[in-house]
Chain A
Amino acid sequence: MIDMSDVSDLKEPLERASKLVSNPADPYGRLAARRTKKRRNERLTAGFVALAVAGAAIGVTAAALHSTSRHHRTIAGSGFVAPGLAPGQYLYQQQVIQGVSDAGGGVVIQTWWASDGSGRISEDCPDPCSYGANTGTFGPGKFPADSDVSGLSTDPNVLYDQMVQRTSPTGSSPEPDFSPGPYLAPGVTAGSLRVAVETLLMDANGSPDLRAALFQVAERIPGVQITEDTTDPAGRPATRLDFPELPEGGHPILYGDPSTGQLMADSFSVASRGYVLYNEGIVDSTDAVPTGDQWLFPPAATPSP
């Protein structure tokens, strides 16, 4: 029996339409370069494993000296007051992502995260939507996040060193998408540290006090330009961090709440690349949305830009 659902008269129109796109330049050359780069990174990683073992004692000493010297640095935005999460509490985040929908509207992702790794994610993406978040309700330890935040300190001094360690070739942070900036430790540049910190800040897991400490680590990354008493894209009072220019042009920008050190928005100096607004609070269930003083900072008046 013929399955009629497999019979169609649309092959020719689709064939014709598929030929309307131009071919990329030298795709095989790009593939060969990508393969070479991957192999080189694998060799570098193997080399750094040996280096890390051989130089562990030296590393401990250097880290202690590094930490001591930072105590004398003036840190803008220090003195944040941000709570931890008690058992049964959820960090609620509403993220309005502008620029990823086919329809041109904002994608709104709501997350509820508890410190036991449980929570919920919901998404409102205009149809048609090219991207999809990992939505659903998740039991303990099942919340989908890019990074494991367990064991990270809420003391920015300790956290700085932890982030440098995670960013090393043998650490758990993702490979950087670029590598500008000064050399900070074997395999770690200012650029790769920014990517590691930013990845944690943008993810929906992590208690508010940890996120405040992460924002302070971001402030210390060499090359960052800090602007206080400014506003985020939604007009809220904010501290703005501008990171160095990327090789492909433009630079990342983070906005933090001056009181709690929470990430309020992230954007890019090239306007066409979109931006994200955050509204954040603490609630007692995965069905609740913060009200009143449950908000950690003023929610944006109009969530959908």
Chain B
Amino acid sequence: MRPGGVRAFMPHMGHAAATTSASAEEGHAPVPADPAVTFEAFFDQHHERLYRALWLMTRNRHEAEEIAQDAFLKVWERWDRVASLDEPGGYLYRTAMNVFRSRRRRSAVALRRAVRQLPRDDELEAVEERDVVIRALAGLATRQRAAIVLTDLLGMSSEEAGEALGIRGGTVRVLLGRARAALRQEMGDRHE
């Protein structure tokens, strides 16, 4: 594997689109990627975290895995280019959020396909029984869940989360306000 071929996901998603020219300015000439090796390592590094974040957003592990697979496939097909970005992890997360958004925009037909094709997440129901955070997340709208996962779990700023979700940073802050209050209340009630 080439040195630095896999970079850790950085919270500053706005830098994800940086190109190899940025590396060159820093004195690091772009190194040709070795797609056969580095993509698999990249996958190993990011899959679990992305999948877990998507699970919290979608509340269905099957859908979370579908979105993650779609996002990784898009990245793989562009790996020659993505591997040379400063933050390929950022590109992955933005791609995943695009897939997440496009799936939410699906038509009524796709809703029915989802009903048929998406197995019920029995595991979620079991976990919900015993975990206060999972139960509290269930009470949030999908956009609120997405906002709180992107910011509080993945460390994006509200502006970066807004960019990933296709909404304004101000809207993210409004979503976060209610989501955090609901989570804290649920967790507080639990501890009292």
Contacts and interface: CB of A to CB of B under 8 A. Distances in A.
A223 to B, nearest CB: 18
Given A10-B180, A11-B153, A268-B116, A18 B108 contact: no
A28 B157 CA distance: 30
A28 B151 contact: no
Interface in B22-57: 40, 43-44, 47-48, 51-53, 55-56
Interface in A125-157: 127-134, 144-146
Interface centre among A16, A20, A129 (most CB of B within 10 A): A20
Nearest to A6: B157
Contacts of B77: 35
14 contacts: A5-B177, A6-B157, A11-B155, A13-B183, A13-B187, A17-B133, A19-B52, A23-B48, A24-B65, A27-B65, A97-B112, A111-B108, A130-B59, A146-B107
Interface string A197-230: 0010011100000000000000000000000000
Contact of B134 (A20, A31, A127, A266): A20
Interface of A: 3, 5-6, 8, 10-11, 13-24, 27-28, 30-31, 34-35, 38, 95, 97-100, 102, 107, 109, 111, 121, 127-134, 144-146, 177, 199, 202-204, 252, 266, 268, 272-276
A287 B60 CA distance: 36
B114 A100 contact: yes
A27 B44 CA distance: 9
A34 B138 CA distance: 31
A252 B116 contact: yes
B8 interface: no
B60 to A, nearest CB: 7
Size class of the B contact interface (CB-based, 8 Å): 35 or more
Main SS at interface, chain A: mixed
Nearest to B52: A18
Given A202-B108, A203-B107, A10 B148 contact: yes
Nearest to A21: B55
B33 to A, nearest CB: 17
A6 B151 contact: yes
A34 B48 CA distance: 18
Nearest to A177: B117
A133 B107 contact: yes
A17 B107 CA distance: 31
A22 B107 contact: no
A109 B108 contact: yes
A180 B59 CA distance: 32
Nearest to B140: A128
B109 A131 contact: no
Interface string B45-86: 001100111011011110011001100110011000000000
B127 A102 contact: no
A210 to B, nearest CB: 16
A204 B111 CA distance: 13
A98 B114 CA distance: 11
A202 B112 contact: yes
Nearest to A268: B116
10 residue pairs, one from A and one from B, having the closest CB atoms: A17-B133, A18-B52, A274-B115, A5-B173, A14-B153, A10-B152, A8-B152, A20-B127, A21-B55, A202-B109
A51 B112 CA distance: 34
Nearest to A16: B133
